[in-house]
Amino acid sequence: MSFSCLTTIVLLFGSVLALVKDGSDEIDRLALLEFKARIADPSGALSSWNDSSHFCDWDGVTCGRKHRRVTILDLRSKSLFGVVPPHIGNLSFLRGFNLQNNSFHAEIPPHFGRLLRLQNLSLNNNSFSGQIPSNLSYCSNMLFLNLGYNMLKGNLPTELGSLSKLQGLVLQFNSLMGNIPPSIGNLSSLQMFGTLMNNFGGTIPETLGQLRNLKILALGGNKFLSTIPISIFNISALASLDVATNQLEGGLPGNLGFTLPNIKIISMWQNHLTGPIPESISNASNLEVIQIDRNNFTGKVPSFSKIRGLYWFNSYINNLGGEQSTDLDFLCSLTNSTKLKILVIAGNAFRGLIPDCISNLSTTLSMFGLAYNHISGTLPFGIGNLINLENLQMQGNSISGTIPYEIINLNKLTILDLSHNELLGQIPEFFVNLRMLLKLDLSSNNLWGSIPSSLKICQNLLLLNLSTNNLSGYIPPEIMGLSSLSIYLDLSRNSLIGSLPVEVGKLQNLGELHLDGNRLSQ
Ligand SMILES: *[C@@H]1O[C@H](CO)[C@@H](O)[C@H](O)[C@H]1NC(C)=O
Ligand SMILES: *[C@@H]1O[C@H](CO)[C@@H](O)[C@H](O)[C@H]1NC(C)=O
Ligand SMILES: *[C@@H]1O[C@H](CO)[C@@H](O)[C@H](O)[C@H]1NC(C)=O
Ligand SMILES: *[C@@H]1O[C@H](CO)[C@@H](O)[C@H](O)[C@H]1NC(C)=O
Ligand SMILES: *[C@@H]1O[C@H](CO)[C@@H](O)[C@H](O)[C@H]1NC(C)=O
Ligand SMILES: *[C@@H]1O[C@H](CO)[C@@H](O)[C@H](O)[C@H]1NC(C)=O
Ligand SMILES: *[C@@H]1O[C@H](CO)[C@@H](O)[C@H](O)[C@H]1NC(C)=O
Ligand SMILES: *[C@@H]1O[C@H](CO)[C@@H](O)[C@H](O)[C@H]1NC(C)=O
Ligand SMILES: *[C@@H]1O[C@H](CO)[C@@H](O)[C@H](O)[C@H]1NC(C)=O
Ligand SMILES: *[C@@H]1O[C@H](CO)[C@@H](O)[C@H](O)[C@H]1NC(C)=O
Ligand SMILES: *[C@@H]1O[C@H](CO)[C@@H](O)[C@H](O)[C@H]1NC(C)=O
Ligand SMILES: *[C@@H]1O[C@H](CO)[C@@H](O)[C@H](O)[C@H]1NC(C)=O
């Protein structure tokens, strides 16, 4: 007898034995083979799925110890392309199924509803389409359901409200629509609920306030209307509340800082929210991110002195301040926030002076935006302490006095915009240190003297605007030779003299050049 014949007999005998021993594991084997048959596997991730070994030894397959049935199928990030066949519903011992980050398409088969032991289902980052099968509601042991980053459409099935053990429901980046069913409020174990970037609409159901264990609520990037139900602010476990880019209106409850003691992230940007930032927020000492830009908040900004971990405060385009000359005093309360990175209060109604205490803001600060307010007084020289600033924008105020020479310390600056103010005096020769500058805008001030030749150091400059000042003298040839200038060069409306340097020919990539309103000769 030849060796191969013997092998065949042994193999045959083996599988007959397996069938006799326990026919049920053959069901799993067939389901896995059926699964493989519908998949293109360019990287050979499933090459071990062949008859030379028991399926419990195949890559990505985990079996139970007692009965050799599939309990976990983990095929994440295997470059697989295909569809999930209905046979998946035969893997009745399956507890975990992870297909994330592949290229599966077509519908999610309702046969998952037969997997009563299923705890984790991760189908995120594929191209699944069609509706979410309501049959998933039969998976009564489900703990985590992640369907994010697919092409799912239609409504969120009301029936999913029966998954009483569910801890995580993630649906982000799909095209789901309609209301969030109030039954979601029945998911009493839920810790994370994410619907970011879908087409959900209507009002946010009040029943979500029943989710006492909810830590992360991410509803941003939808079409939710009306007010945020007050019950949401009652979920004391909540650490992250994201309702950004919806059409929400109304105000925030005054006691928010007490009812949400664990809140770390408040993201509400781009809505129609009104009223004051609740003073009690001062007591929400775990806050790290407050993103309320593009709303219509009004009034005084409360103190942040207890919020030491705050690293992001953005209130761009609201209606804050406007009451007194002490509007900006809250900036001093931020000197205790040792991780502060982003501080943007541009586009509000702030009045008064920039307090000297800004010199004590954390040196971690990288973006400081005060533009388009009604700020007056001088720019404190202590700005030079903020040595990690990359982006300093104070345009569109009434800031007077000279430009502090201390800006020379800010050698990471990429954007410096002090335009449309009342600054006077000479432009300091501080550019020797500002090699990273991409954009410099000092236009529409009362600056005089000549254009500093140290600007030639700024070899990365894309945009330079010094127009509408009283600058005099010749245009330094080195400036005209800055070949990086590719967006905009505006020296118009000054008192510059002489002829245009021949170096202008080097500005081959320049989008716009304005030199009018000077006394240049041909
Ligand atoms: C079958 O799987 C084994 C690992 O179990 C692997 O070494 C072998 O290359 C596979 N055979 C084929 C034809 O892919
Ligand atoms: C996704 O899968 C690809 C392989 O297909 C891998 O290179 C990449 O690192 C994976 N991404 C993540 C976030 O796991
Ligand atoms: C497995 O599931 C499919 C489709 O749901 C079914 O046709 C098949 O008979 C089932 N049983 C076996 C042993 O494959
Ligand atoms: C389910 O997911 C959780 C969290 O990611 C993990 O700890 C657990 O081991 C998973 N269980 C199964 C059966 O996959
Ligand atoms: C899913 O896709 C998003 C966006 O492309 C990516 O940021 C994320 O890392 C991906 N996750 C996985 C698990 O592949
Ligand atoms: C939906 O789930 C139920 C309950 O487990 C099951 O009886 C039914 O076969 C499932 N539907 C399909 C199409 O598999
Ligand atoms: C689930 O929630 C809905 C709507 O909020 C409610 O009518 C229903 O009685 C709840 N069901 C259970 C089992 O709690
Ligand atoms: C907030 O919670 C308290 C007690 O936990 C409860 O009495 C009150 O009705 C809740 N308010 C809202 C608006 O849900
Ligand atoms: C913060 O909490 C303390 C102690 O509960 C209280 O005395 C104080 O008034 C609160 N501050 C604000 C601004 O609500
Ligand atoms: C903001 O609210 C004021 C009234 O408080 C109103 O006049 C103004 O139009 C609102 N602005 C926006 C952008 O909604
Ligand atoms: C910083 O924190 C200390 C200690 O809690 C406090 O005494 C001080 O007033 C705070 N500083 C500011 C500017 O809020
Ligand atoms: C900066 O902080 C130090 C130490 O707390 C303090 O002595 C100094 O007065 C502060 N400077 C300003 C301008 O507030």
Distance 310 CA to ligand 9 centre (A): 18
pLDDT at position 49 is 94
Cβ–ligand 10 contact at 319 (below 6 Å): yes
Distance 249 CA to ligand 10 centre (A): 12
Residue 486, pLDDT above cutoff 90: no
Compute φ and ψ for 217, nearest 5 degrees.
-125, 110
Number of residues in the chain: 522
Determine which helix (DSSP H) or strand (DSSP E) holds 479, and give its type and residue range.
helix 477-480
DSSP single-letter state for residue 321:
B
pLDDT at position 509 is 82
C-alpha span between 157 and 19 (Å, rounded): 40
> Rounded to 10 degrees, what is the CA torsion of 136, 174, 146, 69?
60
Residue 7, pLDDT above cutoff 80: no
Looking from the CA of 90 toward its CB, the CA atoms found within 13 Å total: 17
C-alpha span between 264 and 288 (Å, rounded): 5
pLDDT band at 479 (very low <50, low <70, confident <90, very high): confident
Ligand 4, atom 7, residue with closest C-alpha: 120
- Residue 486's alpha-carbon distances to 39, 169, 439, 443, in angstroms, are 49, 47, 11, 18
Distance 368 CA to ligand 12 centre (A): 19
C-alpha span between 330 and 300 (Å, rounded): 9
Nearest-ligand number for the alpha carbon of 251: 10
Share of the chain above pLDDT 90, in %: 85
185-217 residues labelled b (16+ CB within 10 A) or e (exposed): bbbeebbbbbbbbbebeeebbebbbbbeebbbb
pLDDT at position 502 is 84
Cβ–ligand 2 contact at 101 (below 6 Å): yes
DSSP-assigned beta bridge partners for residue 73: 61, 97
Question: Which atom of ligand 12 lies closest to the CA of 380?
Answer: 13
Provide Rg for the chain, Cα atoms.
Answer: 31
Compute φ and ψ for 352, nearest 5 degrees.
90, -170
Residue 10, pLDDT above cutoff 90: no
Which residues line ligand 8 at a C-beta cut-off of 6 Å?
Answer: 209, 230-231, 234
Distance 334 CA to ligand 11 centre (A): 9
Question: Which atom of ligand 6 lies closest to the CA of 111?
Answer: 14
Cβ–ligand 6 contact at 111 (below 6 Å): yes
Over residues 321-346, the mean pLDDT reads 93
The answer to whether the CB of 308 falls within 8 A of the CB of 281 is no
C-alpha span between 315 and 293 (Å, rounded): 4
Compute φ and ψ for 249, nearest 5 degrees.
-135, 180
Over residues 399-409, the mean pLDDT reads 96
The answer to whether the CB of 108 falls within 8 A of the CB of 87 is no
pLDDT band at 23 (very low <50, low <70, confident <90, very high): low
Distance 162 CA to ligand 7 centre (A): 8
Cβ–ligand 6 contact at 109 (below 6 Å): no
pLDDT at position 8 is 41
- In sequence order, what are the residues at sequence separation of 6 or more whose Cβ sits closer than 8 angstroms to the Cβ of residue 241? 217, 232, 260, 263, 265, 266, 267, 268
pLDDT band at 113 (very low <50, low <70, confident <90, very high): very high
Distance 159 CA to ligand 7 centre (A): 10
484 by Cβ neighbours in 10 Å (0-12 / 13-18 / 19+) ranks as: middle
- Helix/strand/coil for 395: coil
The answer to whether the CB of 100 falls within 8 A of the CB of 124 is yes
Nearest-ligand number for the alpha carbon of 186: 7
C-alpha span between 113 and 223 (Å, rounded): 30
Q: For 28-71, what is the HEC assignment?
A: HHHHHHHHHHCEECCCCCCCCCCCCCCHHHCCCEEECCCCCCEE
Mutate to test the pocket of ligand 3, among 32, 70, 90 (most ligand atoms within 8 A of CB): 90
Nearest-ligand number for the alpha carbon of 77: 2
Cβ–ligand 2 contact at 103 (below 6 Å): no
Nearest-ligand number for the alpha carbon of 125: 5
Nearest-ligand number for the alpha carbon of 181: 7
Nearest-ligand number for the alpha carbon of 158: 7
Ligand 7, atom 9, residue with closest C-alpha: 183
Over residues 21-33, the mean pLDDT reads 81
- Would you list the domain boundaries of the chain? 377-522
pLDDT at position 22 is 55
DSSP-assigned beta bridge partners for residue 447: 425
pLDDT digits (tens, 9 = 90+) for 202-229: 999 999 999 999 999 999 999 999 999 9
pLDDT digits (tens, 9 = 90+) for 338-382: 999 999 999 999 999 999 999 999 999 999 999 999 999 999 999
The answer to whether the CB of 448 falls within 8 A of the CB of 426 is yes
Mean pLDDT of the chain: 93
Distance 208 CA to ligand 8 centre (A): 12
pLDDT at position 504 is 82
C-alpha span between 271 and 455 (Å, rounded): 41
pLDDT band at 485 (very low <50, low <70, confident <90, very high): confident
Question: Which atom of ligand 3 lies closest to the CA of 34?
Answer: 14
Residue 19, pLDDT above cutoff 70: no
Over residues 78-98, the mean pLDDT reads 95
Query: C-alpha angle with apex 420: 330 to 333, nearest 5 degrees?
Result: 10
Distance 110 CA to ligand 6 centre (A): 7
- Helix/strand/coil for 354: coil
Distance 505 CA to ligand 11 centre (A): 56
- In sequence order, what are the residues at sequence separation of 6 or more whose Cβ sits closer than 8 angstroms to the Cβ of residue 154? 130, 131, 132, 176, 177, 178
Lowest mean pLDDT among 115-124, 253-262, 321-330: 321-330
pLDDT at position 156 is 97
Share of the chain above pLDDT 70, in %: 95
The CATH code of the domain at 377-522 is 3.80.10.10
Beta strands 39-40 and 81-82, pairing class: antiparallel
Distance 102 CA to ligand 2 centre (A): 8
DSSP single-letter state for residue 340:
-
Written as one string, the DSSP assignment of 433-499 is G-TT-SEEE--SSEEEEPPPGGGGG-TT--EEE--SSEEEEEPPHHHHT-TT--SEEE--SSEEEEE
